Amino acid sequence: FANELSMICSKFNINSNELIELANRHPRVNIHNPGCGVGGHCIAVDPWFIAFQVPDLSKLIQKARERNKDKTKWVINKIDKKINEVKSRINRSPRIGFLGLSYKANVDDLRECPALFIVKQFIDSNYECYVYEPFLKDHEYIELSSINDLIKKSDVIFYLVAHDVFKKVDIKNKPFEDFCGIFK
């Protein structure tokens, strides 16, 4: 729901994080924060076990999983758009900074992680990418950067995971997009 709501809000130029914060002031409302999709070892995988067993009775489960995958595609499209904006301004392919790889804030777990999928898309498209994940020392496929190198070398920065440490990062007025609610 939160991911779909964030896409709807974007269409109408409404800050989804502010909207959710206001809605959550009601004592019986607890809308989660939107992200760049849904990952992890449970929510991203387990619903498919049910859907496989009873596909005709699990339409909502299937649609929910499809919609969360749509959110990841939506984020990729938004990143493409921002990259093209920066490219037209600097007259070259921009160097991209990505903040966060894990499936949720403040963990090192990369299982079924939409942020990891997104970053791989841009690395595989031959963009010069800098990736900072404070909860990992290294990764088998992605070269991790220090936060200082990412800020210094990137032309545009994308927040993919709402790690607490990112709330204190000064990106030096670089263009950015926040897909995880760092800036509410």
Task: Give pLDDT tens digits for 130-183.
Answer: 999 999 999 999 999 999 999 999 999 999 999 999 999 999 899 999 999 998
- Give the pLDDT band (50/70/90) at residue 109: very high
Instruction: Find the mean pLDDT for residues 92-103.
Output: 97
142 phi and psi, to 5 degrees?
-110, 130
Instruction: Find the mean pLDDT for residues 16-38.
Output: 94
Instruction: Find the mean pLDDT for residues 108-135.
Output: 97
Instruction: Find the mean pLDDT for residues 4-22.
Output: 95
Residue 160's alpha-carbon distances to 58, 102, 104, 120, in angstroms, are 30, 9, 9, 13
Give the SS3 label for residue 177: strand
Residue 100 contacts residue 118 (beta carbons within 8 Å): no
Two tokens, residue 90: 């600097």
CA distance 122 to 125: 5
Residue 49 confidence (pLDDT) above 80: yes
